[in-house]
Amino acid sequence: MKEQNSIPVSKVERSAKFVTTGAKVGINYLKHYSKKMVNPNHSREELNKENAEDIYNALSKLKGSALKIAQMLSMDKNILPKVYSDKFSLAQYSAPPLSGPLIVRTFSKHFGKTPDQIYDTFNINSKHAASIGQVHQATKNGKKLAVKIQYPGVGDSISSDLRLVKPFAFRLLNMSEAELQVYMGEVEEKLLEETDYILEVQRSIHFSTVCKDLKNTIFPTYYPELSSKRIITMDWLEGIHLKDFLKKKPSQELRNKIGQALWDFYNFQQHELRAVHADPHPGNFLITPDDQLGIIDFGCIKEIPDDFYYPFFTCLFSNIFDDRHKTIEYFRKLGLILKSDTPKQVEFYYKNYKAMISLFAQPYQQAEFDFSKPAFFDELFAWSEEVTTNPKLKQARGAKHFLYFNRTNFGLYYILHDLQAQVKTDTFRPHRLNE
Amino acid sequence: MNTKEKLENAYIDYVLSNNEQPKSVYIFTKSLKLKEDDFYTHYNSFEAIEKRIWQQLFTQTMDIIKSQETYAGYNAREKALSFFYSFVEVLKSRRSFIIYSLKHTERSISTPAVLQNVKEEFSKFSLEIINEGMDNNELSDRKYISDRYKDALWLQFSFILNFWIHDDSPDFEKTDEAIEKGINVTFDLMSRSPIDNLIEYGKFLVKNSKFKPDFIFK
């Protein structure tokens, strides 16, 4: 066995990364004060900018929950970090693989039996890492199974990673503790939910049942009796990830088919279930040998409450945008414009969020949308560029639901762009309030 | 139940109920309707009972891990991990006694008296796996230092035991983490590492001292 024979480099590097960031920030302060001595006009803003860049660079090199948090926070202001798909496919809790004895221990703790006693065969070497655990292959009664085992202490590490990121986030986003707490709380809640495997199995079974009529989409069977707080047993889905699928140069027709399955899967959940698989990370999808979309991992589910859903989709699909007053009224409901805003700020956010939401709505405007069109994504990029450089837009704003909502939808757009798919976007129409 | 076990159970019951040792062997045996003689045939003191209980916990652990099919295939690191995971599992059945015993045993900087026997046996076990690890190059054989490897493992033993006593996480999950991380660090340190290369490089430079550690350019 090969695992853990070396120093867990990633761990060491990970803490080192924070150390260097700390040091760099310190140096920036030094530079600031020395520059100030020479040139009293060296502004604090310049310092903040230097800090922010260093912090952001350090965070974007991190893996694990710290990375997720950084991205979640940036998602709102940053709509699409450019390297979205690559980074997200790398994002995983960085831990060395579990030792054989700990795997045996985890099983005997939860089932009173060793893996060999539970399954007909069990491969002690993990096949691949899931975001907060590792996946093993097993067989039972002639069925090939995937067994996901969670790293111990992940929950704790999430909370401590969050605490680690917090001071950086304050400086980076220039927000008050109370403002930031709303978003941090949302992220922490979701991340902690992901560590509850019993909940994940329940949700997986629920979602795969209600989504079973969707075309070209398949779900593995889950085995609650072989699952526990730290272990999930499900069918092993054969298939390849999107990246490898695209390498095989699939036909336009096939890409459309997969893209359509994805679109339907998300929009069915969004508009019919009001709860959505909020982790559109390419690793959570498989293309099976018979060209179906396999969906695994229901760890992260975002429920969309009515008081968010209706205002948002109503202003998207009525002609409210023609009416400035009404639009502002809706933006207030969504927390995009605050009571404390000055008229100038109101105007600013009105203009910008209107532009952003209109952009979001584009795929819905026609019955069919071509996600390979570069124009749409160029516009998205330009927008995200604008958001990152404009300090007024940098601050996270709006209802906390935007975090996962944006992540899900823009994540979906991005995958469809990768697929270069043409998709019928009117399969599940949004509901809205009658005006 | 033979007298030996009877004495043992009665003793555990007594200390856990009263949070102290019985006043004397005489009073203790009297309450059991036994003669003092019966006690001294098996034990020479109350402490001897505690020692034996600890030793039994250790033996039980060794029996469990050695009976596992996978154990023989494990490398040294995994054997150590396997030992500690099973050990804390075995300890669970006697948690109250263990907490009592460690609290009341003579505090000294060295090993608590009740753990004396366990330490000896654990050292034997450690040496066994360390030698095995050095034979198959899993561990690095270092002059002077490798003799101390077993002490490093004993240090982990004491740390993990103490951690477990204070662990209030559900199902002692944090102890599992402490074991996984702690044993890995210990074994990482005992494996060939940059430090070995650094030392060798240092030796080389000293031996070739005519090349002064000076840099032509920086």
A186 located within any domain: no
Q: Hey, what amino acid is at A429?
A: R
The rounded mean pLDDT for chain B is 88
Considering only the beta carbons, identify the residue of B74, B174, B176 that sits closest to A105.
Answer: B176
Q: What is the Cα–Cα distance from A388 to B208, expressed in whole angstroms?
A: 56
ipTM tops the 0.90 cut? no
B81 located within any domain: yes
For A384, other C-beta atoms within 10 Å of its C-beta total 22
pLDDT at B213: 58
Average pLDDT (A344-361) is: 84
Average pLDDT (A381-390) is: 68
Coil, strand or helix: which one is A69? Answer: helix
> With contact defined as beta carbons under 8 Å apart, do A55 and A21 qualify?
yes
Instruction: Tell me: do A101 and A232 sit in the same domain.
Output: yes
Query: Within its chain, how far is the Cα of A335 from the centroid?
Result: 22
Average pLDDT (B142-171) is: 89
A292 located within any domain: yes
A396/A119: higher pLDDT: A119
A108-112, A147-151, A426-430, B154-158: range with lowest mean pLDDT: A426-430
A176 located within any domain: no
Element (H, E) at A185: helix A177-194
Element (H, E) at B61: helix B46-67
B123 located within any domain: yes
Token pair in block for residue A268: 């069915």
B182 located within any domain: yes
> With contact defined as beta carbons under 8 Å apart, do B82 and B65 qualify?
yes
- Residue where one domain finishes, among candidates A236, A254, A289: A236
Q: What is the Cα–Cα distance from A399 to A405, expressed in whole angstroms?
A: 10
Instruction: Tell me: do B60 and B124 sit in the same domain.
Output: yes
Handedness of CA A332, A335, A337, A341 (dihedral sign): positive
A400 pLDDT higher than 90 = no
Number of domains in chain A: 3
Query: Which residue of A lies nearest to B86 if distances are taken between CA atoms?
Result: A105
CATH code (residue B188): 1.10.357
A183 located within any domain: no
Q: What is the Cα–Cα distance from A106 to A89, expressed in whole angstroms?
A: 27
**How many contacts does A have with B, using Cβ atoms within 8 A?**
58
pLDDT at A93: 42
Decide if A108 touches B, using CB distance below 8 A: yes
What's the pTM value of the predicted model, to 2 decimals? 0.72
Average pLDDT (A171-180) is: 65
pLDDT band at A319 (very low <50, low <70, confident <90, very high): confident
Number of domains in chain B: 2
pLDDT at B69: 80
pLDDT at A60: 45
Instruction: Tell me: do B78 and B109 sit in the same domain.
Output: yes
B151 located within any domain: yes
Instruction: Tell me: do A313 and A426 sit in the same domain.
Output: yes
Category of B209 on φ-ψ map: left (φ > 0), alpha (ψ -120 to 50) or beta: alpha
Instruction: Tell me: do B177 and B95 sit in the same domain.
Output: yes
Instruction: Tell me: do A349 and A257 sit in the same domain.
Output: yes
Q: Which domain holds residue A18?
A: 9-93+157-169
Please list every residue in chain A whose beta carbon sits closer than 8 Å to the beta carbon of residue B81.
99-102
Considering only the beta carbons, identify the residue of A100, A106, A156 that sits closest to B78.
Answer: A100
A89 pLDDT higher than 60 = no
Q: Which of B67, B70, B88, B195 to mutate to test binding with chain A, by most A CBs within 10 Å of its CB?
A: B70
pLDDT tens profile B178-188: 999 899 999 98
Instruction: Tell me: do A277 and A299 sit in the same domain.
Output: yes
Instruction: Tell me: do A380 and A401 sit in the same domain.
Output: yes
Instruction: Tell me: do B40 and B59 sit in the same domain.
Output: no
pLDDT at B209: 72
B216 located within any domain: no
A76 pLDDT higher than 80 = no
Instruction: Tell me: do B106 and B13 sit in the same domain.
Output: no
A3 located within any domain: no
Query: Within its chain, how far is the Cα of A231 from the centroid?
Result: 22
pLDDT tens profile A193-233: 888 999 999 999 999 999 989 999 999 999 999 999 999 99
B212 located within any domain: no
Contact B78 A101 (CB under 8 A): yes
A331 pLDDT higher than 60 = yes
Q: Hey, what amino acid is at A143?
A: K
A148-157, A330-339, B29-38: range with lowest mean pLDDT: A148-157
Q: What is the Cα–Cα distance from A108 to A117, expressed in whole angstroms?
A: 10
Q: Which domain holds residue B157?
A: 53-203
pLDDT at A17: 41
pLDDT at B14: 93
Query: Which residue of A lies nearest to B173 if distances are taken between CA atoms?
Result: A152
Instruction: Tell me: do B59 and B162 sit in the same domain.
Output: yes
Q: How far is B208 from chain A (nearest CA, A)?
A: 31
| Residue among A33, A233, A82 at smallest CA distance from A149 | A233
pLDDT at A195: 86
pLDDT band at A11 (very low <50, low <70, confident <90, very high): very low
A389/B135: higher pLDDT: B135
pLDDT band at A74 (very low <50, low <70, confident <90, very high): very low
Instruction: Tell me: do B7 and B67 sit in the same domain.
Output: no
Instruction: Tell me: do B38 and B121 sit in the same domain.
Output: no
Instruction: Tell me: do A22 and A128 sit in the same domain.
Output: no
